Amino acid sequence: MSDILSVHHLVKRYRQLVAVNDVSFSVQPGLCFGLLGPNGAGKTTTIEMMEGISRPTSGEVRLFGQPAHRRAFERIGIQFQHTALQDYLTVRETLTLFAALYPRSMKLDELIELCSLEAFLEQDTRRLSGGQRQRLLLALALINDPDLVFLDEPTTGLDPQARRNFWTMVSSIKARGKTVVLTTHYMDEAQTLCDDIAIMDHGRIVERGSPEALLQRHFDGVMVRLPVTSVDVSQLPMQSVVVSEHIEIHTNEVDETLQQLARTGISLEGLQVKSPNLEDLFLKLTGHALRA
């Protein structure tokens, strides 16, 4: 199966700053691909080069098996982090306006149903809630019936219910055979939606693969977590790491680890036993330090 999107040795420099440093990866059709990374990792710069918004310093972006060109960009849809909408138009009028900008567009009734816009079609766009606005912006990204859709931090600022509803719509888009490229800060979102992910840090790809494969590669066993306030680290009988306000212990023998903790007299109040998830992997690969 040929790649719908591929980047080869992509580099972006801003004078002395190398924002993207020799990045290469590919995306197969029909998948949701996640580009993850902390603030300043280079993911926004990378996605802007893939979308044709920014020109690479060097390297190549290929769309649909060919070097990126105007005709190829007509087959993509983009939901930006921030998009200004025309004032004093209803949702229906906004959809009609944007549909008129393209030689080909999805049927509006079909788009309205796909993005669950029925309840507020006649509402002024200035009065939309955060979740309603994001659903409209998703519809605008799909209005030209693209084969490849870029979603840049689409659920930032939404409440948990609105985020879950948005996830359902992304799954519906995938079910229609469209390819999705997603950037997100929410690791549960990436683990739920993405078939394949690339984790960026300091302008480079530091790891790549499916969430399940990456977790198996980097973690063995389960994680025992204790609040820092209840633990004297020097008393711990096994290797541990301090993460935020918790002590984390990775172990293959849960019963033995708990018995060792109990023998030291450490309080087990607040103890949690959990399998590592994508957030744990993200922190392991990119560090725990706060970034600007």
Give the model confidence (pLDDT) of 88-100 as tens digits. 999 999 999 999 9
Give the model confidence (pLDDT) of 58-117 as tens digits. 999 999 999 988 889 999 999 988 888 989 999 999 999 999 999 889 999 999 999 999
65 phi and psi, to 5 degrees?
A: 85, 0
- How many helices and strands (H and E) does the chain possess? 10, 14
Q: Report the range out of 153-157, 175-179, 236-240, 276-280 with the highest average pLDDT.
A: 175-179
Q: How far apart are CA 147 and CA 141, in angstroms?
A: 11
Evaluate if residue 16 carries a pLDDT over 80: yes
Close Cβ partners of 288 (under 8 Å, ≥ 6 residues apart): 243, 244
Q: Indicate the SS3 state at residue 227.
A: strand
CB atoms inside a 10 Å sphere around CB 15:
5
Evaluate if residue 272 carries a pLDDT over 50: yes
Do 139 and 112 meet the contact criterion of CB atoms below 8 Å apart? yes
The CATH class for the domain spanning 5-215 reads alpha beta
Question: Sign of dihedral through CA atoms 39, 41, 42, 47?
Answer: negative
